[in-house]
Amino acid sequence: MLELRDVDTFYGNIQALRGVTLRIEDGEIATLIGANGAGKSTTLMTICGVNRARRGEILLDGTPIQDLPPHAIVRLGISQVPEGRLIFPDLTVQENLDLGAFLRNDKAAVRRDMDYVFELFPILAERRRQTGGTLSGGEQQMLAISRALMGRPRLLLLDEPSLGLAPIIIRQIFEIIQKVNRDGTTVFLVEQNANQALRIAHRGYVMENGRIVMSDQADKLLSSPAVREAYLGM
């Protein structure tokens, strides 16, 4: 489905990604783990076209997309839930969700998808007329995920969805990620919470200093002594 081949990304003269190669298969949950500052968020931003790859290729179903603008990449079926959620605090829950479907013209399907996200997160249905800024952190994360799903993505990119949330909310969010995947959406999950991420993923990649240093099936990484010592505190 999505493949990065030897991707380099820079911020000015500072190189953030160094020869990143990875593959996300259709229908799976893939995760990218690593310490803060390793380059995980930059990887997602490069896929989305917000940061430009200076070298290498990004392929969606075999077609290069690294030179496309972000809105064109969204139209191809890639949606991102950014770190920090970045909802619109002065808009209502309903209005935030409507913006997620801004590029769509299939009104009947949009209504069905609205029902779907309210089924995933019933609390949002209860608060649909509240402004986003009045929601709790967990509810804002639910809204950010729902807004991305309103674009009906083939590939959902999630950047640190557990950041700053209580353990009980984290469990709920990760259960929803699994359900969304079972319902047909491919997921690429960036997380510092390596234990949670590897437990729900099919495939995992480990990033250090802008490089992929390890990759394997997620369950094998979870049991790897090197990963357990470096990222799981075991």
Ordered strands of the 78-81 beta sheet: 78-81, 155-159, 186-191, 29-33, 203-208, 211-217
pLDDT of residue 22: 97
Domains in the chain, ordered, with CATH?
1-77+155-234 (3.40.50.300), 87-152 (no CATH)
- Given a cut of 80, is residue 94 above it in pLDDT? yes
Q: Give pTM, 2 decimals.
A: 0.92
* pLDDT tens digits, one per residue of 108-144: 888 999 999 999 999 999 999 999 999 999 999 999 9
Tokens for 177? 């990620």
pLDDT tens for 159-177 read: 999 988 899 999 999 999 9
Model confidence band, residue 66 (pLDDT cutoffs 50, 70, 90) = very high
